[in-house]
A and B are shown apart, each in its own frame.
Chain A
Amino acid sequence: MGKTFKKPEALADVVTHYCPGCTHGVIHRLVAEVIDELDIRDRTVGIAPVGCAVLAYNYFTFDFQEAAHGRAPAMATGIKRVRPDLVVFTYQGDGDLASIGMGEIIHAANRGEKFTTIFVNNAVYGMTGGQMAPTTMPEQRTTTSPFGRDTEDVGMPIKVAELIAALQTPAYVTRQAVLKPGQIVKTKKAIKRAFQYQLEGRCFSLVEIVSTCPTNWGLTPVEAINWAQDTMLPYYQLGEYKTPEAA
């Protein structure tokens, strides 16, 4: 019986630093599988964020750049403009993309820069120890919202997919999740579609992925999946928000 399942070439054969139950591991793998299947490893450049995935470059086996917090879409713009033949993607979390980097992602998407953004939404700032994010749910307790997110004070969570989809420039914008196996399969399809659009030189793509952070949510991995299903998915609804064909 031959090998039916193996580690993607694009994924490094190392142990990651991610927490037990962290969905970064799943998402990294999906990205790596897509890169292998499209046979683009030798011309891909990834851009790592500041966040738990700051060390993402240790887990992939192709060219990588480390961006300052929030600036990955600007770096991606620079690379893609000077080397349109390279396949470029950013991998960003809530703070990176939706807080400090909000300007950069909106403008890169609006200019229609032909790169792909993987946006990991876990409603909290993971790396720095669990502070509130723009995506933190109402009443959700974090280390900087110890009494729960007070929407009277700091507003409602930001729906990034909807926000980016509202821009007039054609793009592929989708929200997926990696909480259940069926969702994971769909997420991979979305990631592949996004990279395919880039290979066609067609448009900007954003794949938002509802994810868990058991450690900073104070939940077990399974509890975290259930909390995300019950609390996040009704608000962060899954689906294709924009496709270039519909433009």
Chain B
Amino acid sequence: MAKVLMKGNEAIGEAAIRAGCLNYFAYPITPQSEVAEYLSRRMKEVDGVFLQGESEVAVSYMIFGAAAAGARVFTTSSSPGISLMSEGISYMAGAQVPAVFVNIMRGGPGLGGILPSQADYMQATKSMGHGDFRLLVMAPASVQEAVSMVMQAFSLAEKYRNPVMILGDGLIGQMMEPVEFLDDYKVEPTNKDAWATNGMRTRNSQSRNLVKSLFLDPEALDKNNQILKAKYEQMKREDIQYETYNAESDYRLLIVSYGTMSRVCRTAIDNMKKKGLEVAMLRPLTLFPFPEDQILAAADVPNCEAVASIEMSMGQMVEDIQRSVLGKKPVHWFGKCGGDVPTPEEVTTFLYTLIDGPA
């Protein structure tokens, strides 16, 4: 099948359709409004559902209602809009309802900026809403990867009956890259009759289904929380994904970076290699579950002097890296907020300070 040049946002929309998700509710927000623009036409072609809701708050509940009724459904937004969805996402996690959320990150906090950022890492991986729950979070570094992750996201959401988030950034959303949609990406429909409110006659059943997150009885609420926790433990056992770059070398520094930032780091690593300095990168593909053991193993080799988190934030993933490395090597952070993606040269300059000391 031929590759097509597509804008990230549009490819994400197309990927959902190829994954059998024919239902999209969304609200415009820069830098991801193109998803809605694309799907407002494309959903009609596939006889799917497209609705622009009145706010991200409302959209998050349209997602909840539709998903709870058994439909495969997703939405896209960007940082401030994702904040508005936190309550709905918490409800969905508590009620064990699957759906896919895509955050095309922009600068924050507050209204922030419209250029790329990675400043919602903690929100996505630690605290997407109130209460004890986690999202499975994946971070693509290319448009092709965004496509494959969007498709995987539906399987994972339905496997765990939990919302799943794709954490992209404005660059991934806006850039155009060659993309192909392979047939073997197809995501089979799952049977949701055990829990979905899809109508008793749809299930041929006399017993009704109830989707709720309220458990007034303390034992019942504790039990619900135990069920949720067990899922997150299972995610940690079964669904960690990561990649390494230049890890076969005798690297002196280990970079941990994801998404767009990881591509810049790759160029920096290639440049430094030519100058005789070996640096490796571990790129998490899942930010939750986080490849803690793998980062520790990559850091805990004799030649490696330090670990650096390179992220477009004021230092969020760095805390997870510190936690993973267990104090065995020093952990540093380099980043920039505002929307200017750090250049390979800026990354290189920073990494040299770790080797040579501050300039």
Residues in A lying within 8 Å of B, measured CB to CB: 41-45, 47-48, 54, 57, 61-68, 71, 74-79, 81-83, 85-86, 103-104, 107
Contact = CB atoms under 8 A, between A and B. Distances in A.
A63 B192 CA distance: 13
A66 to B, nearest CB: 4
Given A42-B200, A64-B210, A65-B197, A82 B73 contact: yes
22 contacts: A48-B212, A54-B214, A62-B200, A63-B209, A64-B208, A65-B68, A65-B210, A67-B61, A67-B65, A68-B87, A75-B68, A78-B62, A78-B71, A81-B25, A81-B49, A81-B66, A83-B198, A86-B198, A103-B58, A104-B58, A104-B61, A107-B53
A150 to B, nearest CB: 30
Contacts of B208: 61-64
Nearest to A80: B65
Among B53, B58, B211, B214, the most chain A Cβ lie within 10 Å of the Cβ of: B58
B64 interface: yes
Given A41-B200, A74-B53, A81-B49, A86 B58 contact: no
Assign chain B's interface to a size class. 35 or more
A166 B352 CA distance: 67
B61 A68 contact: yes
Given A61-B208, A65-B211, A103-B54, A81 B200 contact: no
A63 B199 contact: yes
B61 A74 contact: yes
Given A61-B208, A82-B71, 20 more contacts: A41-B200, A43-B199, A45-B69, A45-B197, A62-B208, A65-B69, A65-B197, A67-B61, A68-B61, A74-B60, A75-B62, A76-B65, A78-B61, A79-B65, A81-B51, A81-B66, A82-B23, A82-B66, A83-B70, A103-B54
B57 interface: yes
A58 B54 CA distance: 31
B201 A78 contact: no
A78 B197 contact: no
B191 interface: no
Contacts of B349: none
Interface in B197-245: 197-202, 208-214
A67 B202 CA distance: 22
A106 B59 CA distance: 14
A64 to B, nearest CB: 5
Interface in B80-108: 87-88, 91, 95
Nearest to B90: A68
Contacts of A48: 212
A165 B225 CA distance: 43
B63 interface: yes
Contacts of A61: 208
B55 interface: yes
B49 A42 contact: no
Interface string B67-80: 11111010000000
B259 to A, nearest CB: 30
Nearest to A47: B65
A43 B204 CA distance: 10
Most buried by A among B64, B65, B197: B65
B227 to A, nearest CB: 17
Given A77-B51, A107-B54, A63 B64 contact: no
B81 to A, nearest CB: 15
A68 B88 contact: yes
B91 to A, nearest CB: 5
A112 to B, nearest CB: 12
A75 B88 CA distance: 10
B51 A66 contact: no
Nearest to B95: A66
Nearest to B206: A42
Most interface-central of B49, B62, B88 (chain A CB within 10 A):
B62
A45, A104, A107 interface centre (most CB from chain B within 10 Å)? A45
A48 B51 CA distance: 23
Contacts of A75: 61-62, 64-65, 68
Contacts of B66: 78-79, 81-82
Contacts of A66: 95, 210-214
B77 to A, nearest CB: 15
Contacts of A63: 197-200, 208-210
B201 A42 contact: yes
A78 B63 contact: yes
Nearest to B51: A81
A107 B73 contact: no
Contacts of B61: 67-68, 71, 74-75, 78, 104
Contacts of A86: 69, 198-199
B212 to A, nearest CB: 4
Given A41-B200, A43-B201, A63-B197, A78 B69 contact: yes
B62 A74 contact: yes
